Structures are given as structure tokens and as C-alpha cells.
Amino acid sequence: MRILVTGGAGFIGSAFTRNVLADDYAGLEGSHVTVLDKLTYAGNLANLNSVADSDRFTFVQGDICDVALVTELMGTVDAVVHFAAESHVDRSILGGADFVLTNVLGTQTLLQAALGANLTKFVHVSTDEVYGSIEEGSWTEDYPLLPNSPYSASKASSDLIARAYARTHGLPVAITRCSNNYGPFQFPEKVIPLFVSNLIDGATVPLYGEGNNVRDWLHVDDHCRGIALVLAGGRPGEIYNIGGGTELTNKELTGKLLEATGRDWDAVVRVDDRKGHDIRYSVDITKIANELGYAPQVPFEQGLADTVEWYRTHREWWEPLKVRAAIDR
């Protein structure tokens, strides 16, 4: 299979690319991967160093809003896995224009170009944040979309556009919605790498409000495994939730990171809560489990310990990124 991976130099896209080229996924063995990435602040070619010399790998620097480029690439592949997105909630609160441009128009550009190609599958990678916030229970895939941030609204919009192309044009689109990812190579503006890198440097970490917001944590390898299952066997026109099964409050997560780095609560600075901060996310994974045999395989405690150790031993990867992006320490 020839796969176009958009945003493949980012955190999740690069993990998927590395794992495909390692032949980790049944049904995708021997696949060729073409990565299309604009290399914005969160895109990093170093994430692909381990596969850069593979004869099954091609890198193209470009924008998913570039109609001519996207149309050309669509003619060279059998399937698309669309990761490319602006994804940081705080940045979207400061200004939503880039999120609408990339997440909405970029997705539409890809879908339109795909109409002229002979694709077997177009996997649109989305987020559980499109559902909004849920006090109890878990979201199934037919739950109404009630996004609360400019980021999640832009992703919900792209989901609806993808669904429309599937229904109107018969494009073989499947949508995945994941919970919070963690793991190696995650850009250090996100909570786990930000906290870990700050804490091992002796700096403080910011905790929103009382820290009672709940997130379900999903190791990036489990997420990519679920995406691979959808690519290989998911039904066109369907939506699949992918979760990790570990719900923690932000305060509980902070406590685990303090323990892992040998710091105490004196390192935590309480800050004003984020505007429109969703209280709780929780996805029901029954559908992907029953249809495709998905189950998270990375125990959270082990995955978190491995992730902390990765950041501890890969300062040369994350330190320049924090400086370049002027991330508060």
C-alpha cells in the first residue's frame, strides 16, 4: 500500500510513520509512506531520523492547503491518513485563524483532491474534544458535537466536512476520535512534556485552577495501532473512538509527574483556569473493540515512566524546541 501521511513530522504522525515502516501493523506490511508536512513550529524532521534512509519513505515539505501539490500527491497513493492540524487549545484561544485555515480549509482541500484519486481509504484523525465536556458516562460515536474551544470547533467542522464527502461523493472516509495522547517526541508545549522538562530542570509548572479537570490518557503507540486498524479494516463512512482507559484529574497527573521527577508540590504554581475549560473527557471504545479488535496495550504507569525517562535522556531533542517556540518554563 502507498500511504500519504499528512502532518507526518509531528508527534502522532511521525509515530505512525515509524511504526508502519517497522511493519508493526498487520495488513500494512511493506507499505510505502509519503509524509507531507509544512514544518510549522511543531513539525520536526528529527522525529523521522530513524526512517529517513528507508527506500519506502518519501518526505515532501508543503501545505495541505496547496491545491496543486495535494492533487499531485493524491495521484501517487492508495490511502491517506490525515494528521495535519493545529492542535494547541491555548493557542487557539489567543487566535483562531490558523486553526480554521489548516483544520477546516486544509481538510477540505485534501478531500476535494481525493475525489480524483482511486483511494481505498481516507482516515481523518480527529479528537474527543469535538464532543465538548461530559460529567459522567462516556461518549459513543453518535453523540452530538458540542465543541467549546476554537481548536475543537475547527476539528468538529473538519469532521463534518469529511462526513459530507463520504455521504455526498461516496469517498471512503473513516473518522477517528482519540483521547489525550502522550509519549516520546511530543512537542513540549503539551502538558506532560512541558511538566517533565520543567521539573527535571528545577523549574515550576503551572496547574490550571484546582486541577480537577479529567482527561483519558492514551499512549501514542496505542492510538496509532487503532488508526492502523481503521485504515486496514474500518468501514468507510464510519467514526471510531480510540481511548486509553486511564482517567486522571490534572492534579492526579501532576502528582504522578512530581513523583517521577523527584519533585514536590512546591514546584506547582496555581494559575487562573483556562477560558471555557472542559471538565471531563471520556470516550466509549466499544465500537472499535468489537469491530476491529482494538484494545490499549500500554499500561499507563509503564508508559508514563518510559515517557519521563525518554525526556530525561533526550534533552538535545526538546530543549531547542522550547527555546525556538519561546515556551514558558
Coil/strand/helix, residue 41: coil
Query: Which residues, in sequence order, are bridge partners of residue 3?
Result: 33, 79
Q: How confident is the model at residue 86 (pLDDT cuts 50, 70, 90)?
A: confident
Residue 203: helix, strand or coil by DSSP?
coil
Sign of CA dihedral 127, 130, 134, 140: negative
Give phi and psi for 196, each to the nearest 5.
Answer: -60, -50
Q: Compute the distance between CA of residue 99 and CA of residue 258 in angstroms, rounded to an integer.
A: 32
Per-residue pLDDT tens over the stretch 228-261: 999 999 999 999 999 999 999 999 999 999 999 9
Residue 273: its pLDDT value, please?
73
pTM of the entire predicted model: 0.95
pLDDT of residue 284: 98
DSSP 283: B
Which residues are CB-neighbours of 136 under 8 A, at least 6 positions away? none
Contact 152, 129 (CB under 8 A): yes
Is residue 12 within 8 Å of 83, Cβ to Cβ?
Answer: yes
**CA-to-CA distance for 20 and 26, rounded, in angstroms?**
10
Confidence of residue 298 (pLDDT cuts 50, 70, 90): very high
The whole-angstrom separation of Cα 114 and Cα 262 is: 50
Mean pLDDT of all residues belonging to the chain: 95
Nearest-angstrom CA–CA distance, 297 and 289: 12
Residues 103 and 100: their CA atoms lie apart, in Å, by 5
Does 328 have pLDDT greater than 50? no
- The predicted pLDDT at position 221 comes to 98
| Mean pLDDT confidence for 88-115 | 88
Q: Contact, 69 vs 39, CB < 8 A?
A: no
- Average pLDDT, integer, range 185-213: 96
Task: Tell me if residue 53 falls in helix, strand or coil.
Answer: coil
CA distance 303 to 244: 11
For the residues 141-164, what does the mean pLDDT come to?
Answer: 96
* Residue 279 vs residue 266, higher pLDDT: 266
When pLDDT is averaged across residues 274-295 and rounded to a whole number, the result is: 93
And the C-alpha cell for 173?
472516509
Assess contact for 202 and 32: CB atoms under 8 A: no
Asked which of 70-74, 206-210, 228-232, 281-285 is least confident by mean pLDDT, the reply is 206-210
Q: Which residue has the higher pLDDT, 89 or 318?
A: 318
**Contact partners, residue 107, CB within 8 Å, separation at least 6:** 64, 82, 124, 158, 161, 162
329 pLDDT band, cuts 50/70/90, is: very low
Q: Could you give the angle at which helices 191-200 and 315-324 cross, rounded to 10 degrees?
A: 110
Mean pLDDT on 178-203: 97
CA 130, distance to chain mean position in Å, is: 13
All structural domains of the chain, each given as residue ranges with its CATH number in brackets, are 2-181+218-242 (3.40.50.720), 185-215+246-276+299-324 (3.90.25.10)
pLDDT at 325 (0 to 100): 65
Strand partners, 61: 37
pLDDT at 29 over 50: yes
Instruction: Tell me the backbone φ, ψ of residue 58, rounded to 5 degrees.
Output: -135, 135
- pLDDT, tens digit, for every residue of 181-192? 999 999 998 999
Do the beta carbons of residue 123 and residue 137 sit within 8 Å? no
Catalytic residues: 128-129, 151
Residue in the structure block whose three cell numbers are 530543549 = 319
pLDDT at 96 over 80: no
Q: Which helix (H) or strand (E) holds 157?
A: helix 150-169
Distance CA 145, CA 90 (A): 20
Set of cell numbers at residue 271: 494559575
